[in-house]
Structure 1
Amino acid sequence: MHRQSRSNSVTFLNSLSAIPWVDVLDILIVSFFFYALLSWLNRTATRAAALGAIALGVLYILARRLGMVLTTEVFHAGALVGLVALVVVFQEDVRRGLQRLPLQLSKFFRRFSRSPEREREEVELLVDVALRLAATKTGALLVLAGNEPLTAHLSSGIRVSGELNKELLLSIFHTGSPGHDGAVVVDQGSLWEFAAHLPLAHRPLGAEMGGTRHRAAVGLAERCDAMVLVVSEERGVISVAEAGEIHEMASGEVLRERLQQFFDSRFPRVSGSLWKALTANAHLKVLSVAFSIAAWSILVAGPGTIHRTFVVPIEYRNLPESLAIDEDAPSEARVTLAGPEIAFRSLDPSLLLIALDVSQVRRGFNQLLITENDLRHPPQLQVEFLSPRDIVLLIQSAPPPGAEEGGTDGESPDRES
């Protein structure tokens, strides 16, 4: 038992050593897509349906791993239909996911340099404005742009470009202002647009969550990574909509912490940001890599031993200069190798070679036995079959140097006297 366990460990290590760099890159790319999918599932409203689709994918992998032919074929037949159905049913979520993909890539390589002092000032300004509006029960919608574009989701707004200012925000939301019913958009600490109209949420909100303003806040938060502050004019309550959800803020301190979390996640500082990016959501990243390795080992490396046959050239080495091999000598052999799929994927068939040592042959007929040691092949693969196993060589004397057929140098057999 101990020897068998040790043998399995050696085989596993040999398989790992045979993994080419292309497969490592393949696993990393698939891990990124798994991570993007899992991150999306954490915030999407169609989480249950998407989890069902992932469960079907896991079932397919297990069916293929266990050799369940009927189940595998059914999945193959229904895969295209199911994919089209998912795209049709969840077209809005798919569109958002495709839009976010390049943004996530750029976010990984790009780091925003924001002054901590300026960020704190912006947070304090927003908290102060929200508390003042809540105290006077002045309805307001304040959009904080994230990394994703907002243009496609806004309408009827008035574009401005100015510094964020407390008095300006309070005057915009004053009931006498013509644009007080719309939303103010703040992007990177600047006032970008006001009197903007936001899309309404797909799902209805409870009466206790507010009216049209709250539904508009959730509608934008469903479609992008922006945060929306809402102040209710009926109750004077401050709420925050983000990732398709809306929550009331119990106090100014809670709002301050929520705003700081938003800025830290959307615009990480240069100092230590790379390490934070690598360690953020570590459980999802580890799970994504584990999924990718499992899928690779089952779908690519293969569940067990496979066999492949090759035609391998025979090379005769160390032949004495005084001898020659008859031209009818075998020049190739058929070899069947067995091993894991990953070992074959890293195999270059042109490097397979049978090298026979003929230094001890004599004139006449010589019988040679071909062994596994004569075959040059990767150690992860075993020789299952080799044909022919033995060959017969006719060895003759080598012609003298410079000899030509039909005569000697300087003479012609048809030369006239």
Structure 2
Amino acid sequence: MDLASIINTVKNISFFSILDILVVSYIFYKGYMLIKETRAEQLLKGILLILVLIPISYFLRLTMVYTILSKTITIGVLSIIIIFQPEIRRALEHLGRTAFNERHILLEDETLMEEIITELVNAVENLSESKTGALIAIEQTTGLNDVIANGTKIDGIVTAALLENIFVVNTPLHDGATVIRNTRIVASGCVLPLTGNTDINKKLGTRHRAAIGLSEVSDALIVVVSEETGTISLAINGRLTRNYDKDKLKDILIKIMKTRQVKASTLGERVKTWIKIKFKKTS
């Protein structure tokens, strides 16, 4: 292809062609970010290796190798769906949260939000000092009704005293998770899904694995207090960060919730504007 042909091709590229390329690139990028540092990433590398080896084996006339690899890809579509089931679920839930977020779980009153978080971190600090294990999930845009259903309904206002009392050792609810929705403690003693990630620290106990597990399938913010060391941890989007103190935990929770609040508000305004424009065109 000569220079003139290349220039002519570039000139014929339309705005929608560029948009098409950008959308596809974004989809691939977000897909990779969802599986980054998970077992699925290693599986994807294996699949890409097979796809590279197929044309090489054909070119080198390695008939048996080519046949085996070709058949593997042919029958592997269903296997890929089964293997990537957790990642596919996470991707669809993420799409649902970002594209159709109409639940408005997030607190709109910033002052009230800070009051609730202050009560939470005060309780967490006291639980940490006494080395009392705790697991607290703050519901965001993904509903946690399935988790709430397997616990004990509380429906109480979020206060440090109530949270501390729930996790008193040898009481019926201290071993499970407590779920907070807006200004209310909805339920306690809830059972959370454990993570299937085998790469996490082997020293982490069931509370931490449950926190990571819930954060993998929802956008909830999960606070954990270690029963052995009193260490405060936070699980978000399948990842656990540790060694928080009261102030650091409060700052990160407020920052995340305010950011998500802005995103939800912005998306809502965009949808309303789009509906108004469409309505005017049809009327």
With structure 2 as the length reference, what TM-score do the two structures score? 0.72
Distance 1:212 1:112 in 2: 28
The runs of 5 or more residues in structure 2 that have no matched partner are 268-283
User: Compared with structure 1, are the counterparts of its residues 235 and 88 closer, same or farther at alpha carbon in structure 2 (3 Å cutoff)?
Assistant: same
Aligned counterpart for 2:120 among listed residues 116, 126, 150: 126
Q: Offset at 1:131?
A: 0.1
User: Compared with structure 1, are the counterparts of its residues 235 and 78 closer, same or farther at alpha carbon in structure 2 (3 Å cutoff)?
Assistant: closer
Is the counterpart of residue 159 in structure 1 residue 153 in structure 2?
yes
Larger Rg: 1
User: Compared with structure 1, are the counterparts of its residues 17 and 94 closer, same or farther at alpha carbon in structure 2 (3 Å cutoff)?
Assistant: same
Q: Decide which structure has greater helix share.
A: 2
Distance 2:186 2:11 in 1: 55
The runs of 5 or more residues in structure 1 that have no matched partner are 275-417
Aligned counterpart for 2:229 among listed residues 230, 235, 242: 235
Aligned counterpart for 1:195 among listed residues 189, 192, 202: 189
Q: Offset at 1:112?
A: 6.2
Q: Decide which structure has greater strand share.
A: 1
In the alignment, what sits opposite 1:253? 247
Q: Offset at 1:91?
A: 2.2
Aligned counterpart for 2:209 among listed residues 215, 226, 229: 215
Distance 1:261 1:51 in 2: 35
Q: Offset at 1:133?
A: 1.0
User: Compared with structure 1, are the counterparts of its residues 17 and 161 closer, same or farther at alpha carbon in structure 2 (3 Å cutoff)?
Assistant: farther
Q: Offset at 1:270?
A: 7.0
Aligned length: 260
In the alignment, what sits opposite 1:81? 75
Distance 1:230 1:247 in 2: 10
Is the counterpart of residue 105 in structure 1 residue 105 in structure 2?
no
User: Compared with structure 1, are the counterparts of its residues 94 and 149 closer, same or farther at alpha carbon in structure 2 (3 Å cutoff)?
Assistant: same
Q: Offset at 1:203?
A: 4.3
Distance 1:54 1:114 in 2: 45
8 Å CA contact 1:143, 1:229 repeated in 2: yes
Percentage identity across aligned positions? 28
In the alignment, what sits opposite 2:41? 47
Distance 2:255 2:172 in 1: 33
Distance 1:236 1:147 in 2: 29
Q: Offset at 1:263?
A: 1.9
Q: Offset at 1:194?
A: 1.6
Q: What CA RMSD, in Å, does the superposition of the two structures yield over aligned residues?
A: 3.9
8 Å CA contact 2:223, 2:234 repeated in 1: yes
User: Compared with structure 1, are the counterparts of its residues 270 and 149 closer, same or farther at alpha carbon in structure 2 (3 Å cutoff)?
Assistant: closer
Is the counterpart of residue 181 in structure 1 residue 189 in structure 2?
no
Secondary structure of 1:141's counterpart equals strand
The one-letter code matched in structure 1 to 2:81 is V
In the alignment, what sits opposite 1:172? 166
8 Å CA contact 1:103, 1:148 repeated in 2: yes
User: Compared with structure 1, are the counterparts of its residues 201 and 165 closer, same or farther at alpha carbon in structure 2 (3 Å cutoff)?
Assistant: same
User: Compared with structure 1, are the counterparts of its residues 118 and 12 closer, same or farther at alpha carbon in structure 2 (3 Å cutoff)?
Assistant: farther
